[in-house]
Every structure is written in structure tokens, then in C-alpha cells.
Structure 1
Amino acid sequence: MSAQLLMQRAWAMLPLIWMGRSLNRFSLSLFPRLHQRFMLGLMLCCVSLTTAIAPVYANSDKPSDKRDPAIEAQLDSMLGAGMYPQSRDEFEQILAMISDTTPVATYVRAWGYRALELVHAERDHDAAIELADRLIERALASNYPTAISEAYAVRIEVLAESNQRQQAIATIVDLDQWLPSVTDERVLFFTHNVAARVLHQAQHFEDALGHYLAAQEAIALNDGAQSLRRRQFLNLHIARLQTELEHFESAMELVEATLEEAKRQNVHHRIPELLLLKGYLQGNIPEHGPRESLITYAETIEWAERLDDTRRVLAARNNMGSVYIQLGEYDHARDVLLKALTIAETQNYETERQFVAFNLADIDVKQGNYEQGISQMREIIALTESAGRQRDYAEMMSYLAIAYGSAERYQEQAETLDELLQLRQRIFRAERDEALSELQARFEAQEKAQQITLLQQENIVQAQQIANTSLQRRIVFLFALSVILAALVLFFAYRSAQRTNKVLNETNESLKEQNLRDPLTQLANRRALQRTLDTFTAKADSESRGAMILIDIDHFKTINDNFGHTAGDEVLITIAQRLKQFIHSNDLVVRWGGEEFVIFMPDIRGRDVVEITRELLRLFAAQPVTFEQQNIPVSATAGVIDLPLQGSTLDDCNWEECLRLADSLLYLGKLHGRNQAHYLHGITQPIDVVKEQIFRDFDHANSQGWLQIESIPSPVSVQR
């Protein structure tokens, strides 16, 4: 326990010139007297067009027009190692200089720091969110990507710090639309860093690493002190991410390189955190071991005391105590932990105090002082539970169960283990629901972004049509002296407009089609399923009988870890191809998200759903997926449900609620060992009476016999 518990958180004129050349030859051969007049008209037309086009280029963004160099320099000098200036008086003086006439990038930067100060230092979340939203509105009005990106990043940081992670992740989708146009090193670092940390916390490790590396690239060529601090910060978080993925050797290599640079360049403020992580990694790499961890933690204490970093002193002492406990050197452990406890109590670090006290109680148990140790453990567990720290609560409960076993209090051990099992199931469901909610929020944000892209494309079409109309009027006016020449110019302009409109319309149709497809597997996506099911619901009558199968690939994270994410993508693509060949022509197969798929069968009359499900399980398990001459065993777990449920209508239980039931059936299969399906044939009680209770506690409803569930084992077992 322990060490882990404290480690947290002029081209537009070209078509006309071509036209002029061809018309010039024509006029020389047939209308020699009109030649000079035609050339004069053509020149006037070019001048007129250039005048019309010039304002477009005049409005292009120039970074020099968007910043105030003097204020920017002051902000740079004040920033230091934090996210906002630490000198409140100096910062207030700068804010007093900001007005509506201040260039937008400087305005957003200065007031963005104020929003970060509100949320981090003053804990005024509502005011910080309101200010961040105003900055986004101002930045969007300027259409300057650098200012827009920084405003979105401020909002992401504020939302994440306000425990609104779903909205923060949705805002990352908005940010991603503007980042390709940003070139400012500081803004690129800040935006990618903020996005990476939020995605890291949400365990979207691949996306987080991409943003971390982009932030790292933004500062790679700069050796200033600020860039060194930023590089240390990034390397620390990348190493933590690698540690969470259990890539201990890679994390160790990065930590040691960062420590060496920090000491060489005399940029020391991250050294205690880096050493703390190094000590943890040494304990997880066999060639290093716990003795090396103790040496590193001692060095951590030296550096942290030198930098007056009491939290890192406390963390290092607690971790040293944990290592001594692991080695069975309980007296050494107690001495170190008592010093840590004194720091926690003096500094009023309540959470850390509980961790240290729990480790001391664990020593009591290991030395045979069972009553005292267990009593202290229970007291701390009660505090942890009341604080709502579910993961810490579960971790401590596991140690309490071990303590009961050591004291030979087996009845209490069994009760604790039973409670721990239920607690971990609740945590699993809560995290699954949170992950689904975040995925839905991200999907909705992406869909919104795609709709904006479509709208922009339509606006381009309209703008092009308006421009073409204006061009035609100018040509008619300037070439009115010759009816034949005017007609020819209009003809070419009209043909050009037609071709442009055709291309743009085809592009629009292509974008709309892509909006309904998953880019990796080319299966239908959630939006396509929603449209199909809404149509099915609208047309459904008393004779309608459909079914849905929700499928989840077993151990998909293990496939990614063992074979790589490219192999994981190949598994998804291969499974998608198999599913497309498996379903009937009227059925729809959908990539629901991640490693989940949905098969919707709109008409199951005359079809054996149980046999279809059994063959579906065989489809997954019978043949491994081959990737780079490696066979990857694959199996799946599924939840199957009729649509509508037998004895009810879609008004009683709509398709979204049925999909939730299918998800609960899938989870039931996961609990019973995977590579199987569960089919809900019906509900024994009136649906309007028990529906709310079923959704609130599916396991209880099943135990009461309200649910008619058939278990469908896979006909093929999988050896991993």
C-alpha cells in the first residue's frame, strides 16, 4: 500500500488570364477593330477583380497585430514555474493595463491567467468558468487560432479542476480543430499540456501521450530556463503515464535523463518529485530492488528539505516506511513513519496523515499487536469512507482483511472480503458509467464539430455562388460594348461556377456519408444506429419483433499491451469484416465504441436468436487474428435482448433502455468468466412496476427472479 497511495496527479486571376489569351486570338482573327477595346476591357476587369479580392487578403491574421510585446514580456518575466503569476500585486498592475483595445492574444493570455488563479488559488470555480467562457467568445470573434486555442485550454483546465471532466474532454474536441494553425511555442506547450493531463486522468492513455509528445516537440529547440522547467514537467508526467502502463524501464530511463539535466542546468524545483517516482520505479524493477529505493527516498528528503517542499518530504518518509515494512524491518519503519506523522500533523495534511497512520497500524498488526492495529485501521477506514475516497477505501479494506487473517479472526475476515467484493463491483460500475459518459460527451462534441464543418462547407458554397454572381455582373458591365464577347465570358464563368458547385456538393455528400461511418472499421457508427433505431421505433407496431446484441471483445487491453496498438486495430478491423459477412442483409452491425459492437436485427421472426448468438461467439473464438505472423486469440462476451421486450412495447421500454439492459447482461457475462452471452427473454413482473428498480439494481432484480435470463456458453474455448 503506501508508495502507490501518495503518487498522484494573385492566384485568383489565373483563370481570367487564360480566358483572355484564348479570346484575344479570337478577336484578332474576326474583329481586328475591337482588339484594342477588348484588351482595355480585360484589363479593367482584372483590376476590378483584384480590387474585390484584395480585402480578403487584407483581413488575414498577422501575429504582430494580435499581441502587445511589452505586456507579453512582463508576463513572461513573472510566470516562473506555475500556471499563473505568483506576485499578486504585479499581476494586478498588468490586468489594470488590459482594455478592450488590447490585442486579442495578449488579452486572452492575461485574463486566462486570472481564470487559472481563480480556480487554483481562490477555488472560485463558477467565476473561473464564467471568465473562461467570455474569453472563448472574444477569441472566436477575432478568428485568430492562437488566441482561440489558448482560451479553450484555459476552459479545459478550469473545468477539470472543477471536477467537470466530461465537459473538459468535450472541450478538447473543440480545441483540436484549431491547434493545427497554431505556431506559438508557449501556446502549443500550454494547450497540449493541459489536454494531455486531462486525458491522462481519464485514462485515455494513447491520446494523452500524443498531446504530451506534441507539447514536448513545441519546446524541443529552446534551452531557456522556462523551457527547461516545462520539459521537466512534461517528462515527469510522461514517466508517470508510462508507470501506470507498467512500462517501468522506459519510465526509469526518462526519469534519470531528466534528473541529470535538472542537476546539470541548476533547475531544481522538480527534482523531489522525480526522485520520488524513481524510488517507486526501483521497487518495481528486479535489478534495482527495495534497497536502492531506500537510498533514492533518502536523497528525495535531502532535496525536498533544501527546497522547503514538505509534501515531498512527507511522501518520501512514508514510502521509506512502506519499503521497510516490505523488508520486515518494522522498527526502522516505525521510526521513519513517526517522523512523517509529525510532519502531516504539523502541516495539517489530513489525507496524508491517514495514510501514514494506517501504515503504522499495519506495523502493529505485523508485530502481533492485533487489537491496537486493527482498531486504528478501522478508525482510518471510516474517515476514508466518509471522505468518499472509494479507491483508497478499497485498498485499505484489503489490508484490513489480511490483518483479520493474521489475528485468526476468520469470520470478520470473510465479512470484510465480502464487503470488499461488493465495493469493487460498485467502483467498477461507477468507473464504467463514467467512461461511457465521457465517451458519449466526446462523441457529441465530435459530432457537433462535424456539423460545424458541414455548415462551413455549405457557407463556402453559398459564398462561392455569391462571388460567381458578382463576377458575372462585372463581366456583363465591363464587356457591354460587345454582345458576343460578353456572352462568351459569361459562358466560361458559368461553366466554372457549375464545376465548382458540383465539386463542393460532392464533397458535402462525402462528408455526410463519413459522418455515419467509423473511420477505422468502416462499420456504421453510433449516429447511424440512432437513426436506424429511431426509424424502427417510429414504424413499429404490435407485430414488430427485433433484437439487439451488445458485444465486447474480451481482454482487449491485454491485446494492446502484449501486441501493440497496431495489432489491436487489426483485431478490430478483422472482427468488423467477420461481422459484416455474418449478418443478414437487413441487419446492421455498428462499432459502438472502443472494443464494443452492436448488432441490430430489425426482424427476428422465424430466426433462432439463441443459435445466432452461439454462432456469433464461435465467430470470435474459433479462429485467432493473425498479425505479423503472430496468432492473437480472441473471444467476446455479449448481452442479448429483444426489441421490444416480450410482453411490452417500445413505449414501455425504449431502445436506449433496452441497450442499457443489454449492457448489464454483458457485465453479468464478464463476472461469470467471459466468452459467453446472456439473453433476456422477458420480465416476469409488470414492466411499469419494476423497470425503475431493475435499472437501479440489476443484480437484485435478477436474484428476485424478475428476469428470465438464458446463459449461452461459447461452443469454442480460448487458450491465452
Structure 2
Amino acid sequence: MEIMSYLLMYNYLLNNNLFIKCLKTAINLSVLGLCCLHLPATCAPTDPQTEQQLDDYVQLLIDNQKAEAIAKLEHVLARLQDNTPINSKVRALSYHIREHLMYEQPKLALQQAEQLMLLAQASEQQEAVTEALMTLFNVLMVMKEQSITAPMLQQADMHTVSARLQQKLSGIHNPRLLFVGHTLLARMYSDHNSDYEAALRHYITAYEVVQNTHDNMTAKRLIFLDEHLCRIHLSLQNPTKAYTYIKQAIDGAIRNNVKLNLSMLYLIKSHTEDLLQQPEQELHSLLQGLHWAEQMLEHDTALSIMNNIGLNYQENKQYDKAKTILGDALKLAETQHDTYNIHNIRMSLGDLLIDTGAQVQGIEFIEQSLPYFRQLLDKAGLQMLLGEVADSYQRARRYQEQSQLLLEQRSLREEVFQAERDKRITELQLQFDTREEAQQARLLHQENLNKERLLDNKQLQHNFILLFALTMTLVAVLLWMLYRQSRLRSYRLYKDNKQLHNQSIQDPLTGLFNRRALMQKMHTDSRPSPHHTQATMPLPDVFLLMDIDHFKQLNDQHGHAVGDAVLIDIGRRLSQMCRGADILVRWGGEEFLLYLPQTDMAVVPALAKRVLDTISATPVIVDKLRLYVSLTGGVACSFYPGMDEDAASQWEQVVQLADAALYYGKQQGRNRICCVEQLQLPLSDTLARLAATPLATDTMPWLSIQSVCGSLGNPPMQECIQLTDTQTHI
């Protein structure tokens, strides 16, 4: 189940997520903008001023300054004249066409791409023709990725353009055109043809081109290529080579402070390490990826990474950690209303419950989510999932259900095998047709260059574009709505995460810190304490543990609502007495713990007296009840004079010592705070003796306790005065 769940989630994140699908065009265009930064060119007809302004336009796009970028491009287009060098003119018009693609205007983009092709062909400049071909090719690919089907957009037509582009690139020496062209071709072979060997060749060619450049975008281009080379090698089932490239991508991103997409790089790295059977490195990569996903608010990636972390913990039998991280992931997915991740995480939780002995609940989780994946997955993915679910049934000793799923899996596997064979035959036929078309195109080009103008079928293309113009408009509106919804969801999730963090370290009733907050504080501040002489002994950390006297009796007599009000009021009073560095914690039930860092024990008795008087002097008023409350407490510090043992890092044992002193105070009549002044034995030995023998200072010379009593004369807590027109005693 672990491997299958990982693959389902990984492929879903990369290919099936609705939001990512909607933004796929924009991502491709941003990558193309990254690639198109001006690189050193050969001696071709260009205008240096125009080229520099186009470089500025691309940089503005990369910096996400869209309004300034559009203004810059419009300025360049307004300055174009008939005598502007053709290569600079075609480059500027190509960017203008891509601008239409960014705003979801494929009709206008395709129309202008055809006009640009005619303009470039008329100039007979090879670099201009290549630039126009790349623009047309990009338009066709984007439209196919948007599932726009028509005779002119069939795969054979796109491959005809790609064949012409490859022919032009073979005679080009401009690094910019080579890089953009080979990147586009690699994208076509990997995304549309599943010909990963061909895609690998084009990415490597682009990589070699970039390595010979040295500008401010070289690093980002190399990160982009390293990531895609890793993906190609994963598709070719070569995880060792893929691991090399993804490490280069991450190292380059960190070295050059490129944080965007860093979480996805770590996710890919963890998948590669999983294939290489490196669980420890995989977990480290997942934790790093989660850190960057949370920092960059990439919540879809964060959910996938959290699920993978849970699976990693499960494989290593760290079930408590797995349950915690998967539970957090499920809450996050439910907060986002992410149906896919909710079911995916529930499947993982179900498998985890089976491993931990809760077979019935685990099977229930799996069976509740399985119908969702039956509708979502294709037959290939479903037959893999059924095998993993059958394994879960086996571990749950549900052999009848396992047998049924295995039979269904076998039937699906046969269907998938037949479909894959038919698909492979179709692909081989398509490759043959593509090569034949490419050969025909070369022959036609050799016979007569003018025959390239057979692209005059633009009228037919125009008629087709009119049919889906309305569809494209609706798609643009939908994309914008999804984008706005995603931004709103991200903002809400950020606020929810912040609120959850505060709730995790605060007591919901009193608003004070809880145990977890103190544990985090002590863990953060833990430090080795060197041995000191009496003269150089630093001030210790003091722990004052307090318990409300007769609190159970108050709850039984007046109800929990009154008890809660008393806890809130006592917490408020104690908070008002704290210094800036002090930490007041609701330790549990009616107990409070006051942590006083670097405090002289000599002042503790006075502080204890003030605490007792503050609490007992004024009654707690709840509705018409006046409740006089008192405390009993125990005080211990992190180290004592003459001790050889360092107790600063053993704060929990110090709290145990304070608890023993509190218990002693209860025995002595309550309404007092007992301070442990000196220890004649190491802390651990003292606690061991206290555990074996009731606390009594007259029989324990190795322990010195000072009791500070509260003021007398207040009514006991159980005596309450009802505030009515005439006061009466209950």
C-alpha cells in the first residue's frame, strides 16, 4: 500500500490535479519566457536597442511585474518600423503572440503566428524563420494541452511543424534559438509522444547550450533542465541517473536562492531515493520539502509530502509518528476541501490501522475511499491499487475479500495489457507516419522553397478557430475564477495554520500556556551547565507548582461551570504577578506551574507569600457566589549549592521534586507553599527516596524544606455567600 499510495499521489500531483491542469499553460509559458532571455547571437540582422528592451521585458516577466512588462513590450512594438532588422522584429512579435497566449486568446495567437510565419519566410532569414516556427509550434502545443481537437490540431500536424523546426535548428548557431527550440521539442516528445529517449536527447542538447552561457539567468535555466532531466530518467526507470540530476537542481536552487518550486524538487528527490531504497535520505528530503512547501504556501505539495512522511514512518514501524502526521494531513485536506487528498490520506490511515492491530477500522477507512479511486483511476492505475488493497485484506485476515479483489485485478491486468499493446502499435504507426511526413517535407523543401507557402490553408484554420472562440473565452473565465479561489483558499489556510499553532501551545480554558509550550521552551533553552564554585554559582531556574485547595469539593458542590470560572480567575491573578521572562502554565486539572528563570532562591519565600495572599485575599465572584480560594504549592530549583549533579537539563525531575513539596504542604494543612531549600543527595537519589518513603523532614536530614503559610482569617473555600438583597450564609 505504501508504494502504491506514493505513486498515486505523486502522479496525481504532477498530472491530475485540476488546479495544476488549469495553470499548466501559464507554467509552460513562464518557462519559455525564462528560456527566451537573450543570449549572445551570431552576426544576424538585429537592433541592439530593441534587443536590450526585449531583454528587459523578459526580466520583468520573471520578476512577476506583469503590468510593467506589458507596457515595456507595447513600447517596443510601437517603435517597430519597416526598416527594423527582421530578427529583432520577429522576436518582438513572437513575444506579443505569447502575450495573447498568457491571456487565453488562442484564436488571435494562432492567427498572428501564421502571419509571422509568412513575414519570416519572405525575409529568407533562417533565424527569423526558426523563431516564427517555434512560436507556431508553441501555439499548437498549448492548444493541444488544452484538449482543443480539430483536423488542424491533430498530432500529425504538430509533428509536421516539429519536423520542420528540427531541420531549421540543424543549421542555426544562435544559442538562444537552440535552447528554446530543443526545450520545446523535448516537451513534445515527453508530454505528447512518451518518447523519452528523444526527449532526453533534446534536453541534453539544450543543457550543453546553456553551459556555454554566462549570464544572470544561467543558474535558473540549469535548475529547470536538471529537474526535467531527472523526470525523463525516472520515466526511463533509471533512478541512479535521475538522483544525480535532482541533487544538482536542489543544490543550484539553494545556492542561488531560487525558492519557488523547491518543495517539488525535494518531493521528486524523495521519490528517487525511495526507488533507490534509501529510506533515511527519503525521510530527510520529505521533511525538507515540507518545510519549503509551508514557507512558500504550496499547500497541494505539502499534503502530498505529509502523506509520504506518514508512509515512511509506517515502513519503519514508527506508527505513532505516522498516525500523527497523517492525522495532521487529513485535517489540512479537510480544511481545503481537497477531495482527492482526503481519500488518499484515509487510504493510508486505513493501511496504518491494519498494521497497528485495528483491522476493522482500517478496512472501513479503505472501503470508504476505494469507490472514489475506482471512478478516478484508469484501468492501469486501478489494477495496481487493487493489488495493494488485496494485500491489506490479507494482513487483516479478510481472505474472501482478498480473493475477489485479486480476481478483479487479474481481469483488469489482461485488459490493460491488451490496451497497452494496441497503444504501442498505434505509437509505432504514428512514428512511422511522422518520419515519412518529415522526409516528404525535406524533399519538398529541397525541390522548391516556395512550396513551404502551402501553409495558405489559413482560411480553413480561421474558420475552425471561429468555432471554438466562445469555448476559449469560457475557459479563460474559468481559469481566472479557479485562480482567485486558490488564492483565497491559500490565505484562509495560512490563517488557520497560525490559529492551530497558537491552540497547540495554549490551554483553551484559561488562555495560559500548556505543558507542550513549556516542553518546547525547555527543549529550546536546554544547554550544558558547567560546574561552578560557590562564588560563581549562577542563579537557578525556579519551578513553583501550585494546586487549588478543595477544588474537587467545589466542583461537586457548585458544578464544573463554577470550577472553570475559578480556574480562569486564578490564572488571571497569577499572570498579573509574572515577570516578562516568567512562564505560567496550566499544568493539568487544578494545577498551575510557574517557571521563574534565573531567580535567586532567597526571594522565593517572599514571592510565595505574595502569591498566597493575592489568591486568598479576594474572593472569586461567580454569578451570585463569593468563593474564597487558597493554594498549596511546592518550590524546587534547577540546582542547589554543593550538588555535583547538573539538574538544569533535568527540569522534569525538578518539577517532580516540587510536586513532592506540594504534597508535603497538603499534609501540613494547605494554604502554604513549601520550598525545597537544600539537598544533601543527588536529585535522582532524592526522588528515589521520596518515592519509597512519605515526605517528612524530621526523618529526612538529607532534605531541607521551608514552609510559607498564607494569611489566616479568610473563610474557607467551601463557605460561600450568596449576593441577594439580604446576604445569607449557605
TM-score, length basis structure 2: 0.49
Go from structure 1 to structure 2 and tell me whether the alpha carbon gap of 1:127 and 1:109 turns closer, same or farther (over 3 Å shift): closer
Equivalent position of 2:417 in the other structure: 428
Q: Per-residue deviation at 1:235? A: 0.3
Go from structure 1 to structure 2 and tell me whether the alpha carbon gap of 1:153 and 1:190 turns closer, same or farther (over 3 Å shift): farther
Structure-to-structure mapping, 1:39-50, within 5 angstroms: none
Aligned residues: 403
Go from structure 1 to structure 2 and tell me whether the alpha carbon gap of 1:424 and 1:116 turns closer, same or farther (over 3 Å shift): farther
Q: Which amino acid aligns with 2:142?
A: V
2:91 aligned to which of 94, 103, 106: 106
Equivalent position of 1:291 in the other structure: 280
Structure 1 range deviating more: 319-328 or 107-116: 107-116
Are 1:66 and 1:105, in contact at CA under 8 Å, matched by a contact in 2?
no
Q: Per-residue deviation at 1:276? A: 1.8
Structure with the larger RCO, 1 or 2 (CA within 8 Å, 6+ apart): 2
In our comparison, the structure showing a higher alpha carbon Rg is 2
Question: For 1:222, what is the secondary structure of its paired residue?
Answer: coil
Are 2:264 and 2:301, in contact at CA under 8 Å, matched by a contact in 1?
yes
Following the alignment from structure 1 to structure 2, what is the Cα–Cα distance between the partners of residues 322 and 117? 39
Equivalent position of 2:142 in the other structure: 158
Following the alignment from structure 2 to structure 1, what is the Cα–Cα distance between the partners of residues 420 and 368? 26
Equivalent position of 2:647 in the other structure: none
Go from structure 1 to structure 2 and tell me whether the alpha carbon gap of 1:86 and 1:461 turns closer, same or farther (over 3 Å shift): closer
Following the alignment from structure 1 to structure 2, what is the Cα–Cα distance between the partners of residues 116 and 269? 23
Q: Per-residue deviation at 1:216? A: 0.9
Equivalent position of 2:301 in the other structure: 312
Q: Per-residue deviation at 1:209? A: 0.7
Go from structure 1 to structure 2 and tell me whether the alpha carbon gap of 1:333 and 1:117 turns closer, same or farther (over 3 Å shift): same
**2:102 is the alignment partner of 1:117:** yes
Go from structure 1 to structure 2 and tell me whether the alpha carbon gap of 1:458 and 1:136 turns closer, same or farther (over 3 Å shift): closer
Equivalent position of 2:60 in the other structure: 78
CA displacement 1:130-165 (0-9 Å, x = unmatched)? 665665555555553332342244135314522478
Following the alignment from structure 2 to structure 1, what is the Cα–Cα distance between the partners of residues 420 and 211? 36
Following the alignment from structure 1 to structure 2, what is the Cα–Cα distance between the partners of residues 223 and 260? 18
1:189 aligned to which of 179, 185, 188: 179
Structure 1 range deviating more: 245-254 or 85-94: 85-94
Following the alignment from structure 2 to structure 1, what is the Cα–Cα distance between the partners of residues 65 and 376? 31
1:235 aligned to which of 226, 233, 237: 226
Equivalent position of 1:248 in the other structure: 239
Following the alignment from structure 2 to structure 1, what is the Cα–Cα distance between the partners of residues 111 and 370? 38
Equivalent position of 1:173 in the other structure: 163
Are 1:262 and 1:268, in contact at CA under 8 Å, matched by a contact in 2?
yes
**2:77 is the alignment partner of 1:87:** no
**2:299 is the alignment partner of 1:281:** no
Following the alignment from structure 2 to structure 1, what is the Cα–Cα distance between the partners of residues 416 and 110? 29
Question: For 1:181, what is the secondary structure of its paired residue?
Answer: coil
Following the alignment from structure 1 to structure 2, what is the Cα–Cα distance between the partners of residues 181 and 441? 26
Equivalent position of 1:576 in the other structure: none
Q: Per-residue deviation at 1:384? A: 2.7
Uncovered stretches (5+) of structure 1, i.e. residues with no partner: 10-59, 463-720
Q: Per-residue deviation at 1:265? A: 2.5
CA displacement 1:458-505 (0-9 Å, x = unmatched)? 33899xxxxxxxxxxxxxxxxxxxxxxxxxxxxxxxxxxxxxxxxxxx
Q: Which amino acid aligns with 1:2?
A: S
Equivalent position of 2:291 in the other structure: 302
Structure-to-structure mapping, 1:449-528, within 5 angstroms: 449-459=438-448
Are 1:324 and 1:332, in contact at CA under 8 Å, matched by a contact in 2?
yes
Q: Per-residue deviation at 1:363? A: 1.6
Go from structure 1 to structure 2 and tell me whether the alpha carbon gap of 1:457 and 1:146 turns closer, same or farther (over 3 Å shift): closer
Q: Which amino acid aligns with 2:70?
A: F
Following the alignment from structure 1 to structure 2, what is the Cα–Cα distance between the partners of residues 129 and 378? 48
Following the alignment from structure 1 to structure 2, what is the Cα–Cα distance between the partners of residues 306 and 314? 13
Q: Which amino acid aligns with 2:10?
A: M
Go from structure 1 to structure 2 and tell me whether the alpha carbon gap of 1:87 and 1:409 turns closer, same or farther (over 3 Å shift): same
Equivalent position of 2:9 in the other structure: 6
Are 2:200 and 2:229, in contact at CA under 8 Å, matched by a contact in 1?
yes
Are 2:58 and 2:69, in contact at CA under 8 Å, matched by a contact in 1?
no
**2:399 is the alignment partner of 1:407:** no
Go from structure 1 to structure 2 and tell me whether the alpha carbon gap of 1:452 and 1:369 turns closer, same or farther (over 3 Å shift): same
Equivalent position of 1:258 in the other structure: 249
**2:346 is the alignment partner of 1:357:** yes
Q: Per-residue deviation at 1:251? A: 2.2
Are 1:129 and 1:155, in contact at CA under 8 Å, matched by a contact in 2?
yes
Following the alignment from structure 1 to structure 2, what is the Cα–Cα distance between the partners of residues 425 and 125? 41
Equivalent position of 2:189 in the other structure: 199
RMSD of equivalent CA atoms: 3.5
Go from structure 1 to structure 2 and tell me whether the alpha carbon gap of 1:338 and 1:235 turns closer, same or farther (over 3 Å shift): same
Q: Percent identity?
A: 26
Q: Per-residue deviation at 1:198? A: 3.0
Q: Which amino acid aligns with 2:369?
A: I
Following the alignment from structure 1 to structure 2, what is the Cα–Cα distance between the partners of residues 351 and 440? 36
Go from structure 1 to structure 2 and tell me whether the alpha carbon gap of 1:342 and 1:125 turns closer, same or farther (over 3 Å shift): farther
CA displacement 1:166-196 (0-9 Å, x = unmatched)? 3555543232122123333333223222321
Following the alignment from structure 2 to structure 1, what is the Cα–Cα distance between the partners of residues 384 and 113? 37
Are 1:174 and 1:445, in contact at CA under 8 Å, matched by a contact in 2?
no
Q: Which amino acid aligns with 1:183?
A: H
1:418 aligned to which of 388, 407, 425: 407
Are 2:133 and 2:161, in contact at CA under 8 Å, matched by a contact in 1?
no
Question: For 2:170, what is the secondary structure of its paired residue?
Answer: helix
Are 1:280 and 1:293, in contact at CA under 8 Å, matched by a contact in 2?
yes
Question: For 2:259, what is the secondary structure of its paired residue?
Answer: coil
Q: Per-residue deviation at 1:389? A: 4.1
Q: Per-residue deviation at 1:262? A: 2.5
Uncovered stretches (5+) of structure 2, i.e. residues with no partner: 15-41, 452-730
Go from structure 1 to structure 2 and tell me whether the alpha carbon gap of 1:182 and 1:351 turns closer, same or farther (over 3 Å shift): farther
Are 2:160 and 2:438, in contact at CA under 8 Å, matched by a contact in 1?
no
Are 2:350 and 2:366, in contact at CA under 8 Å, matched by a contact in 1?
yes
Equivalent position of 1:384 in the other structure: 373
Equivalent position of 2:318 in the other structure: 329
Q: Per-residue deviation at 1:260? A: 2.5
Equivalent position of 2:262 in the other structure: 271
CA displacement 1:277-305 (0-9 Å, x = unmatched)? 2222223335xx21222122112222222
**2:135 is the alignment partner of 1:146:** no
Go from structure 1 to structure 2 and tell me whether the alpha carbon gap of 1:198 and 1:459 turns closer, same or farther (over 3 Å shift): closer
Are 1:262 and 1:271, in contact at CA under 8 Å, matched by a contact in 2?
yes
Following the alignment from structure 2 to structure 1, what is the Cα–Cα distance between the partners of residues 291 and 189? 33
Q: Per-residue deviation at 1:451? A: 1.9
Question: For 1:3, what is the secondary structure of its paired residue?
Answer: helix
TM-score, length basis structure 1: 0.50
Equivalent position of 1:617 in the other structure: none
Structure-to-structure mapping, 1:542-557, within 5 angstroms: none
Structure 1 range deviating more: 164-173 or 366-375: 164-173
Go from structure 1 to structure 2 and tell me whether the alpha carbon gap of 1:125 and 1:74 turns closer, same or farther (over 3 Å shift): same
Go from structure 1 to structure 2 and tell me whether the alpha carbon gap of 1:184 and 1:344 turns closer, same or farther (over 3 Å shift): farther
Are 2:53 and 2:72, in contact at CA under 8 Å, matched by a contact in 1?
no
Go from structure 1 to structure 2 and tell me whether the alpha carbon gap of 1:329 and 1:258 turns closer, same or farther (over 3 Å shift): same
Structure 1 range deviating more: 394-403 or 155-164: 155-164
